[in-house]
Amino acid sequence: MASVSGGVLALATMTRNTVLRDAMPVPDALAGRSVVVVGLMGAGKTSIGRRLAARLGLPFRDADAEIEAAAGCTIPELFSRYGEQAFRDGERRLIRRLLAGDPLVLAFGGGAFIDPETRAVVREEAVSVWLRCTLPVLVRRVAGRSHRPMLHGGDPAEIMQRLMDQRYPVYAEADVIVDCTDEPPDVTTSLVLDALVAWRAPRRLTVSLTSASYDVVIGDGLLRRAGALLAPRLPQKRAVIVTDETVAALHLPTLRHGLAETAFTASEIVVPAGEASKSLDSYVDVLNRLLDARVERRTAVIALGGGVVGDLAGFAAATTLRGLPFVQMPTTLLAQVDSSVGGKTGVNTKHGKNLAGAFYQPRIVLADTATLATLPPRELRAGYAETFKAGLIGDAAFFAWCERYGAAVVGGNTEAQGEAIRRACAFKAAVVGDDEREEKPNDGRALLNLGHTFGHALEAEYGYSGGLLHGEGVAVGLGLAFRLSVRLGHCNPADAERVIAHVSAVGLPAELALLNRRFSAATLIGHMRRDKKVQDGALKFVLARGIGQAFTATDVPEDAVNELLRDAGCTA
């Protein structure tokens, strides 16, 4: 195969094809990227690829033709002389070099996309398009073609079906899938162009930690593409999905289909919806059901749901067989911007919230913004509290963005939601990367608890029954934290009023009085004393010197907290 390898080296310096005139503008999603066309023999990769290149005004290359030109012999001769493995090695090197150059349209041979290293290069350098055809269409197109080495010595239909079984689950990892029939090539080309125009690369950011790193992927329709997104990240195409009854009815069928498309096998564990499932009893039940399913150490646990499901499933994944691969698929805004990122998992106990758990990082987070359309407006608003909180802690520009676009986020604007999630997750990723296990007592992850000391006390008073959502408690807590900061002389009163005004503007409770419940200051402080953030018996608060200037304090006089709560409407 040396001749093929030598030919590949020469290809790196070859002049590109002349760009055709009168081409359509390249879609924004393709700017600076190549297009790779994949599919089985007979799918029309070369004919469609050539037409697509002409329409986009890009050069066209056919990987098989380039190999033949470099080697000086045909593909069947290469298979015969050197074997398939040597051919694939040369093919891989050629593809890498072509995609490393200027944008082009590149048609792959039928087996090229099967190579994991090649797929990794394609994900980085190109947008991949799978021309998906049914068996009858393919058989009609390849019948009688003697130049196809893989069709020699057998029935074409049987061979093609076997190849479909082997390759279609891998082709399904392509970015764009276009179903092709017997329509003319120009019609298929138009279908591909329409799909490319509609395609949007999901937003991505990386959480970089000492122990590991993983991507947070944000976009519309990610559950439908779950198998394609997970296959490169997981060691086994087997998973157990942990979800709740509400989410299962809404999103489990979509996830099942998205996994099956790439030949994942999956079973499910469905728990009751609500905070009550975040308990030690539920944890033990999920653990036993994972073991009943005979999971292996490479079997993934997928958390499909909100923060309760993510925390519960993550804790079970962390402790089953001393750790199973874990995937977060948050379906609420609260989980997408907060609990799914950072690796905190756990359950509540009778002593308080999140008192049993573990730090356990996911392999990947898929935040599908399409799931937000199914949320009740109250839950969407509650999740938004954790979103703009990031701006209050350390990103004043982000809070200003939230003041401008917050109404669009809670109003269901998917573009605004995607950008808000990206910004909030990017902020949290930076904080977690600097303090993965919350070991910096006065900064780092501790700052993410802004508003939480008050919020958790309110949740505990409600008994985690759902009468008060976590984000609603945090929203009230943020206002109280800023007002406490003002009382202690740390913060300008105008900043506190600005925070409370924004909380109110997006429909969240900004005052204790709006919760329509009477609270005792002494009782709330008692809940605070049982919070896991208590240090040496002293209450610990995250306060602020202004918007984006949070800090921790352990010297807050209890009398000041008591006075604040009583002025907010609490009894003694």
- For residue 509, give every residue at least 6 positions away whose Cβ sits within 8 Å of its Cβ, in sequence order, or none: 472, 475, 476, 503, 515
The pLDDT of residue 220:
96
pLDDT above 70: residue 535: no
One-letter identity of residue 355: L
Condensed to tens digits (0 to 9), the pLDDT of residues 142-196 reads 876 655 656 666 788 999 999 999 999 999 999 999 999 999 999 999 999 999 9
User: Given phi > 0 = left and psi -120 to 50 = alpha, else beta, which region is 213?
Assistant: beta
Distances (CA, A) of 537 to 385, 461, 531, 540: 29, 21, 10, 9
**C-alpha 526, offset from chain centre:** 38
Three-state SS for 265-328 is: EEEEEEECCCHHHCEHHHHHHHHHHHHHCCCCCCCEEEEEECHHHHHHHHHHHHHHHHCCCEEE
Other residues' Cβ atoms within 10 Å of the Cβ of residue 118: 23
Active-site residue numbers? 322, 344, 386, 428, 438, 445, 449, 452, 456, 470
Condensed to tens digits (0 to 9), the pLDDT of residues 338-375 reads 999 999 999 999 887 789 999 999 999 999 999 999 99
Is residue 215 within 8 Å of 248, Cβ to Cβ?
no
How far apart are alpha carbons 259 and 269 in whole angstroms? 16
Architecture category of domain 203-375 in CATH = 3-Layer(aba) Sandwich (3.40)
Domain chopping of the chain, boundaries:
2-198, 203-375, 426-567
Angle at which helices 558-567 and 521-529 cross, to 10°: 140
The distance between the two most distant Cα atoms of the chain, rounded to a whole number of Å, is 91
Q: What is the mean pLDDT of residues 467-474?
A: 93
* Torsion on CA atoms 268, 269, 271, 277, rounded to nearest 10: -130
Identical fold for domains 2-198 and 203-375, yes or no, is yes
Other residues' Cβ atoms within 10 Å of the Cβ of residue 467: 13
> Confidence class of residue 14 from pLDDT cuts 50, 70 and 90?
very low
Angle at which helices 75-99 and 116-125 cross, to 10°: 40
pLDDT above 50: residue 5: no
Is residue 10 within 8 Å of 66, Cβ to Cβ?
no
Q: DSSP code of 40?
A: S
How far apart are alpha carbons 40 and 81 in whole angstroms? 23
Per-position b or e across 477-502, b if 16+ CB within 10 A of its CB: bbbbbbbbbbbbebbeeebbebbbeb
Token pair listed for 39: 């599919």
Question: Class assignment of domain 2-198?
Answer: alpha beta
Worst-scoring range by mean pLDDT, 102-106, 388-392, 405-409, 553-557? 553-557
- For residue 498, give every residue at least 6 positions away whose Cβ sits within 8 Å of its Cβ, in sequence order, or none: 547
pLDDT above 80: residue 87: yes
Is residue 301 within 8 Å of 239, Cβ to Cβ?
yes
Is the pTM above the cut of 0.85?
yes
| CA angle (325, 330, 335) in 5-degree steps | 115
- Please compute Rg for the chain using Cα positions: 28
Question: Pairing between strand 213-219 and 203-208?
Answer: antiparallel
Question: Class assignment of domain 426-567?
Answer: mainly alpha
Is residue 241 within 8 Å of 266, Cβ to Cβ?
yes
Condensed to tens digits (0 to 9), the pLDDT of residues 202-255 reads 999 999 998 889 999 999 999 999 999 999 999 999 999 999 999 999 999 999
